[in-house]
Amino acid sequence: MPLLCAFAAGLLFGAGLLLSGMADPAKVLAFLDVAGAWDPSLLLVMAGAIAVAAPAFAWARGHRQSMLDLPVQLPASSRVDQRLLSGALLFGVGWGLAGICPGPALVLVGSAVAEGLVFTVAMLAGMVLFELWRRHWGET
Amino acid sequence: MTIDWQTFTPLSSLVGGALIGLAAALLILLNGRIAGISGIVGGLLRPRSGEAGWRLAFVAGLLLSPLVFAQFAALPAARIETSHALLIGAGLLVGFGTRLGSGCTSGHGVCGLARLSPRSLAATLCFMVVGVTTVYIARHLLGGGAP
């Protein structure tokens, strides 16, 4: 059951990305291009997503177990630290260069878009590099 | 900031966003997990026991979503003008940065903000400003221009 639910969630998430145009890098870049022909769509995508997800997270805050009796795992920390901001900065640069972030990357792979595959392989490599960095220089 | 009314799609943005929110709601309500794609994928690199299954299932759903979507509507075009070299650079930065920063647009931007996380607000503001700045430099300062 949990596997089926996770699969369905992935399908819905991808459908949402496709319907909203967020799987089209040009549309995302048009949002980030505030000085150009600005497309504010991404703001509404986030507004719609947050509005629907907020009640679910409010529920989750008050429950230790999910509706399928699995542990609810919410991040414990609320500290804004250097790692968080450095990571966000690096991510922001990458995002601004291609207009692709992890979710759309996978949708592009599933759509058999060659550039999506190039990006995703590089993204996975970047994640592996982080694991190596963390093991050698970062704390656990 | 001049809004491009030709490309602005308010209705499909809201509905698509609502679907994304629904997916995140289902994942937290049923599986007790955050629908942050960088975290879901990143956690597959060194999965602890019991961690790989639901992540693979979610990723499978994402990968198959275009196929399912196409049964109901035409797949929107994916317009990419970025060179392979820049795609690789961008991918590396996104991969490393999302793991270092513990999240991305879905993890921080949707789930984090939906649960009123100050960390996610800071992260989201940061990558938004940096993303906007990066595009500004690339398109308007370095003369890359919009396609």
**What is this model's ipTM?**
0.97
DSSP annotation of B47: P
Residue B23 and residue B35 in contact, taking contact as beta carbons nearer than 8 Å: yes
pLDDT of residue A16: 98
Contact A120 B46 (CB under 8 A): no
The CA-atom distances, in angstroms, between B74 and each of A15, A17, A111 are 12, 14, 12
- Residue found by looking up tokens 């049964």 in the block: B71
Nearest to A98 by CA among B104, B138, B9: B138
pTM metric for this prediction? 0.96
- List, for residues B41-79, the tens digit of each pLDDT value: 999 999 999 899 999 999 999 999 999 999 999 999 999
pLDDT of residue B143: 76
Please tell me which of the candidates B12, B99, B130 has its beta carbon nearest to residue A21.
B12
What residues of chain A, 58 to 87, have a C-beta less than 8 Å from chain B? Answer: 58-61, 65-68, 70-75, 77-80, 83-87
- List, for residues B112-136, the tens digit of each pLDDT value: 999 999 999 999 999 999 999 999 9
Mutate to test the interface with A, among B68, B79, B96 (most CBs of A within 10 A): B96
Give contacts of B57 with chain A, Cβ < 8 Å. Answer: 3-4, 6-7, 10
| Mean pLDDT (chain B, rounded) | 96
pLDDT of residue B89: 98
Contact A39 B8 (CB under 8 A): yes
- List, for residues A65-124, the tens digit of each pLDDT value: 999 999 999 998 889 999 999 999 999 999 999 999 999 999 999 999 999 999 999 999
Helices (H) and strands (E) in chain B, counts: 6, 1
Contact B32 A126 (CB under 8 A): no
Q: Is the pLDDT of residue B106 over 60?
A: yes
Q: Is the pLDDT of residue A140 over 60?
A: no
